[in-house]
Amino acid sequence: MRYLYISFFLCLIAGNSFSQSSVDSAATKGNPGPARFFIRCQATVKDDGPLWIADGVVVGLSFIRKIDPDDIESIDILKDNYAAAVYGNRAINGVVIITTKAARMRQFLVKDLLEGNGVPGATLTFISLKNEKDSLRFAADEEGIVKTTLLKPGEEYKVEVSSVGYKSLSAIHTYMPPGKISQFVLEKDIKENQPASVMSYILHRRICCGCIATISKSISLDLIADRSLPVSGRIYPNPLIRGSALKVEMGIQEEKPLQIRITNLAGSALRSMNYRPFKGMNRIELPTESQWAAGIYFMQVLDEKGKLLKQDKFLIQ
């Protein structure tokens, strides 16, 4: 009986449980003598080291060894009762939580409501709901995409999305799982031209009996702004990185020669090109120089007589 107690105690201190027991007695085998008891134990928890978690997924040590140290954002270690309370018996040897830089990557896509394509150069401003002074601003790339790792995990932001020619949009951004893309849809801001009233004054002077009399007469003219401008469109990205190309999209109604140029605030032409468009949407690129100073510039479209048809302002960073 003392052998039975000792075996039971050894199983307990080893962290084991009984998986099978058998009784082997001399009487059952036909041999006289005292009964003997055999207790077989099986471990409930294997000593395989800590529980490894990478970007929220339980993984093996072989997976951990394949992670590039330069791709690791942070490492957290949980031990003792706290680890077991969160992850159960698997965490009896502790938990190592690894967060990679890719897990903090957030992607956003700004799309056109009607066309469904990306909106290049759209501006996204993130304002923390905890602290309004904590804000970040990004410009979308040529495909209307913004990628960043600067947003704090688990924090909510108010997002303000805007772009030239579109109505502004406000939304609340919460945490998105890695690999997911948050989308914002912008609606084009189409405004009708309103009638403009111009007052014209006509002065008449009359001399009579040595006296001068002045008579004024006003005429009100209702002018309707031209609804059929020959050139429409947009430029992007804006702001523009120094030395990169400015992309121009123009809707052309008449196939007449145009001059396209970039000027500074003083009106000096820094780059000019002659362009023969085709009817419809035209897309061209205007290269900039890396030595141009950061500041405000203008893209101008003129007809063959030098009349200004379109002018857009952009910023070089």
Half-sphere exposure of 299 (CA within 13 A, CB side): 28
Tokens 């121009």 -> residue: 248
Per-residue pLDDT of the chain (317 residues; tens, 9 = 90+): 444 443 444 344 444 444 344 444 444 445 556 655 555 554 455 556 888 888 778 888 888 888 888 888 788 888 877 777 778 888 888 899 888 877 778 899 999 988 788 998 899 999 999 888 889 999 999 899 999 888 877 788 999 999 888 889 999 988 666 678 889 999 887 654 444 444 444 444 555 555 544 444 444 444 333 444 567 788 988 888 888 899 998 888 888 899 999 999 888 889 999 999 988 889 889 999 988 888 889 999 999 888 888 889 998 87
List the domain range (segments joined by +) for residue 146: 105-186
Whether residues 38 and 76 fall in one domain: no
Domains of the chain: total: 4
Query: Is residue 70 assigned to a domain?
Result: yes
Query: Is residue 225 assigned to a domain?
Result: no
Instruction: From 190, 260, 196, 188, select the one nearest 226 (Cα to Cα).
Output: 196
Whether residues 242 and 311 fall in one domain: yes
Query: Is residue 207 assigned to a domain?
Result: no
Helix (H, G, I), strand (E, B) or coil at 102: helix
CATH number (domain holding residue 154): 2.60.40.1120
pTM: 0.40
Query: Is residue 222 assigned to a domain?
Result: no
Query: Is residue 79 assigned to a domain?
Result: yes
Query: Is residue 31 assigned to a domain?
Result: yes
Whether residues 97 and 147 fall in one domain: no
Whether residues 287 and 246 fall in one domain: yes
Domain final residue pick, 62, 85, 102: 102
